[in-house]
Amino acid sequence: MDNIINRIAKFNAGLLPDKVQLKYKGMAESAFRFFRGTCHLFYEDLSKDKGFPSSPLGWICGDLHLENFGSFKGNNRLVYFDLNDFDESMLSPVNWELARVLTSIYVAFDTLKLEKAAAHKMAAIFLDKYVEVLGSGKAYYMDPRTADGMVSYFLNNVRKRTEKELLKKAANVDGKKITIKIDRVLHFKLERGLKKELMMHIADWLKNTSAWPNKYEVVDAAFRVAGTGSIGLKRYMFLLQGKKNKDKFLLVELKQGTQSSLAPYNLVAQPNWNSEAERMIMAKYRMQNISPALLSTSVFKGDAYVLQEMQPTADKINLTLLAKDLKEFKSVLKDMAILTASAQLRSSGIQGSAINDDLRTFAASAKDWRKQVSAYASGYADQVKRDYKEYMAGYQQLIKTT
């Protein structure tokens, strides 16, 4: 078998060379960030484990970890807390989703220098709540009106943020002219010809869309970097300005759709999507209670993209701060478990996913599989530590050969 460096280099070979360097740098920050950036390693290894218990099929986000839950403004303009990354989404055994998120608990607790006994306890709490909700057969959602504890506090604070605050962080104002702030960290300058073509592409979309952004025009564009696993994909952001109300602005993004990291290892037959971008947004529609604003697909120069609004309320809970209060951490994990089960229930019985009754039966048989899934997650977290150590030892080699 190839070593970790070769496996990572092979997987990322098709990404933009200059941006993949940023991904590698980010992955070097911690074992948890490394775990976030190596979803492909996780599923390659999981697919080879012959003792991993079977489970019903369901729609899964594929890369479920503690930082892939967050807030966003829905197309009804309300703020929600939910699963929020579907790049790797597929129809897969639901246990795969559980293994990924439970492993993230163990890796995060180790990165935060918390005892493994606490991680065992938190993983058990997550599974308890997941099984309870899945067994009920009822999906739940979380917004400022329904959330409790830390998530409620979090949502009520982030919903107060405005588009102006997002604009202040992302843009420069020079007299009457406003442009995207090029910081070479999150926002990068585009080559002039590509920028012109992209702006024309979005301008055409604005003319033809039935959504409310047809009242806007494109005034600037830039390359955008965000997340970890998706760094190196083509990702662009656009600043829109109101045609009549020049004080009204909007930020939208195009994110390239690519094959899921699960695809080479997932033997389950999938629907015939028109594009990978369509797969991603359909998973969002099915699994989230309310989808983000302006969610759609677009094709630019032969590549399919997910198009959606960038939002002032999109945010994640700070795990470092949460680690200082394990009682609150417990509450947040319960909420995450509720949302995980709810996403599976909400998308049940669609194009091959198990029906609600089968998911409830699976929950009722938890004593037959939960110990094995937990043990796998705990053991794989140790594997992540070993892989991260090997990655750091060969990190400079990887940078030089990219």
pLDDT tens-place string over residues 53-85: 999 999 999 999 999 998 887 777 788 899 989
For residue 146, what pLDDT is reported? 83
Phi/psi of residue 376, nearest 5 degrees: -65, -45
Q: Is pLDDT above 90 for 339?
A: yes
**C-beta pairs of 325-331 under 8 Å, 24+ apart in sequence:** 326/114, 326/118, 326/122, 328/149, 328/150, 329/122, 330/122, 330/125, 331/148, 331/149, 331/150, 331/151
Average predicted confidence (pLDDT) for the chain:
92
What whole-number distance in Å separates Cα of residue 120 and Cα of residue 285?
33
Q: Is pLDDT above 70 for 377?
A: yes
For residue 69, what pLDDT is reported? 92
- The whole-number average pLDDT for the span 207-221 is 84
Q: Which residues contact 219 (CB under 8 A, 6 or more apart)?
A: 178, 179, 239, 240, 241
What whole-number distance in Å separates Cα of residue 376 and Cα of residue 58?
20
Paired tokens of 292: 């983000």
For residue 266, what pLDDT is reported? 97
For residue 75, what pLDDT is reported? 74
Please give the C-alpha separations between residue 129 and each of 23, 125, 139, 169, 378, in angstroms, as whole numbers: 34, 6, 13, 38, 19
- The 10 Å CB-count burial string (b at 16+, else e) for 362-371 is bbeebeebbe
pTM for the structure as a whole: 0.94
* Interval 114-164: pLDDT, tens: 999 999 999 999 999 999 999 999 999 998 888 888 888 778 776 666 666
Please calculate the CA angle 57-62-65 and round it to the nearest 5 degrees: 125
Q: Is pLDDT above 70 for 175?
A: no
For residue 202, what pLDDT is reported? 95
Q: Is pLDDT above 90 for 189?
A: yes
* Interval 299-325: pLDDT, tens: 999 999 999 988 655 567 788 888 889
| DSSP state, residue 227 | S
Highest mean pLDDT of the ranges 178-182, 248-252, 348-352:
348-352
How many CB atoms within 10 Å of residue 327?
Answer: 8
- The whole-number average pLDDT for the span 31-45 is 97
For residue 30, what pLDDT is reported? 97
